[in-house]
Amino acid sequence: MFSFILPSMPTAIIVSPFYAFVQSDFVGKAIVVFLFFGSIYIWTIMIEKWTYLSRIIKASKKFKEAFRKTQGTISNFSSIKEQSPLFDIYKKGKDELLDYYNISQNDFKRYRISTTQHKLTTAQIETIRSKLEQTVSDKILELEDKMGFLATAVSVSPFFGLLGTVWGVMMAFISMAVQGKAEISGMAPGISGALLTTVVGLLVAIPSLIGYNFLSNYIRQLTVYMDNFVEEFMAKLKLEQHNDL
């Protein structure tokens, strides 16, 4: 029989991105640290926005169902405990109607009597619609708060990584030119440090892009809810005015 003597395996070397970070120069380290803390801030924004948007979407659905069960455009809604964009839009429309009907904010019992005595003109109805649409616009601006920062992070983070990579590669070639020889053992540490910035830039940009798309979808959903609610409120108001004639 034949026997084979296998050569001994070399001791395992622990490969870690920290080694690349240590081999980076000041510029490379500064970019990595900047992206790291930027990533923490971005994740904080995404978690806070996701929690907030998820909560008000549920509250908006609940209020929409409650509003559809009411007979008139003005109701107490004392059972609604949680605020939502739809509730704020409704409150704006209710306040405008109470002003036109000369009804106090806490007195809803005279509402039916007052509607028959104080009919709304076409101009007043359009004014109410305009107020509701302005409220929708204000709410959209609130919902989109800090979304611009996420969009900027998606666009800028890879470029910061690319800047660090180009800078590191350039410095590696300068070092090679000064030494007058090209050795992989001499260039590898600098190149690894340079490529680290690209990796970190992508690790910041990719979650930011995913989070931005998810949050934008929630905002679009809420925008549709608000636009539809304005139309539903105005339709109920016009039907109410017509029935009281």
The rounded distance, in Å, linking the Cα atoms of 168 and 184 is: 15
Q: Is the pLDDT of residue 80 over 80?
A: no
Contacts of 184 (CB under 8 A, 6+ apart): none
CB atoms within 10 A of CB 57: 17
pLDDT of residue 221: 94
* Tokens (6 digits) for 192: 């690894």
pLDDT of residue 10: 47
Average predicted confidence (pLDDT) for the chain: 81
* Tokens (6 digits) for 163: 């800047």
Name the nearest CA neighbour of 50 among 200, 229, 226, 221.
221
- Are 114 and 9 spatial neighbours (Cβ–Cβ below 8 Å)? no
Mean pLDDT of the region 77-87: 76
pLDDT of residue 116: 47
Q: Alpha carbon 80 to chain centroid distance?
A: 26
The rounded distance, in Å, linking the Cα atoms of 19 and 196 is: 10
The rounded distance, in Å, linking the Cα atoms of 65 and 87 is: 12
- Are 84 and 73 spatial neighbours (Cβ–Cβ below 8 Å)? no
Q: Say how many CA atoms lie within 13 Å of 54 toward its Cβ.
A: 7
Buried b (16+ CB within 10 A) or exposed e, 200-232: bbeebbebbbebbeebeebbeebbebbeebbee
The DSSP symbol for 87 reads H
Q: Count of residues for the chain?
A: 245
Name the nearest CA neighbour of 24 among 203, 199, 195, 200.
195
Q: Is the pLDDT of residue 177 over 60?
A: yes
pLDDT tens readout for residues 88-147:
999 898 888 888 777 665 565 555 544 545 678 888 889 999 999 999 999 999 999 989
pLDDT of residue 186: 61
Mean pLDDT of the region 36-65: 92
